[in-house]
Structure 1
């Protein structure tokens, strides 16, 4: 398994993101579920910070995340949890309120954490409302912010797991 972020497409409307972490699945789940831990790693590229991290992680619960970046840039995302099976699966809607291409609309995101011995394989499948929305997300450079965040998560997990 590689530790780098891999971004690919599936069909006409999906992006599939994978990355391996050298940490137990339960620990990866915890760092992706608790606001105080999310704020430690989920803040995008250098110069950005997470300013809002509201989580009600239960079926029907909502989340709202917001970030601020250089030169007054900002971005926020909201959604509703549809399925939660700790520590292996989470399905939720996601909508960007600001900072992204408006026609992206609401997408459906499925997170799967697979136990691979001493590693955990993260797979996120994001289904967009159209091919154009999916292509807009790919063109936005979203993988750069995700890669930076997951690199920070990996550093955090390494420190905790030692």
Structure 2
């Protein structure tokens, strides 16, 4: 059975995203923190590709990701890691430089990977600077690109775990 992405609102300014992966937590962490592995699955909906993947997962380290899509569409996101606890937790700022909703400002994103034996429960909590920014993110359809990426991650993890 295919694992599904769940997106819910919490309070006035938060979105909580959850999804289970059929792989051990250490493997999920590795695929979410190494640029050469991120490029294999984190490229959004069909027709998009990841063109930049800079990743320095340490406190004070920066990341910058860019994608290009159909008809000249593009999106760039960057931020700074505030907390890193491999393989269970990271906290970082995120800001869209281009595309998507640049006016949404900086958000704070907390990733938690909970060990469930041969499975891993991913929980991402995104705190937006305002209710309007949170609602704009929800209206953007962001969950479709995330779901597509996490489905590809599932496929990669199945091959890597063998």
Report the TM range for the smaller structure's normalisation: over 0.9
Q: CA deviation at 1:102?
A: 2.5
In structure 1, distance between residues paired with 2:60 and 2:118: 33
Deviations 1:12-54 (CA, angstroms, capped at 9, x unpaired): 0000000000000000000000000000000000000000000
Runs (5+) with no aligned partner, structure 1:
none
TM-score using structure 2 length: 0.98
Q: CA deviation at 1:148?
A: 0.1
Question: In structure 2, what is the equivalent of residue 66 of structure 1?
Answer: 66
Question: In structure 1, what is the equivalent of residue 90 of structure 2?
Answer: 90
**Superposition misfits of 4+ residues, deviation over 4 angstroms:** none
- Name the SS for the 1:87 alignment partner: coil
Equivalences for residues 90-109 of structure 1 within 5 A: 90-109=90-109
Number of aligned positions between the proteins = 162
Question: In structure 2, what is the equivalent of residue 16 of structure 1?
Answer: 16
In structure 1, distance between residues paired with 2:25 and 2:64: 24
Deviations 1:83-115 (CA, angstroms, capped at 9, x unpaired): 000000000000000112222100000000000
Question: In structure 1, what is the equivalent of residue 26 of structure 2?
Answer: 26
In structure 2, distance between residues paired with 1:75 and 1:2: 28
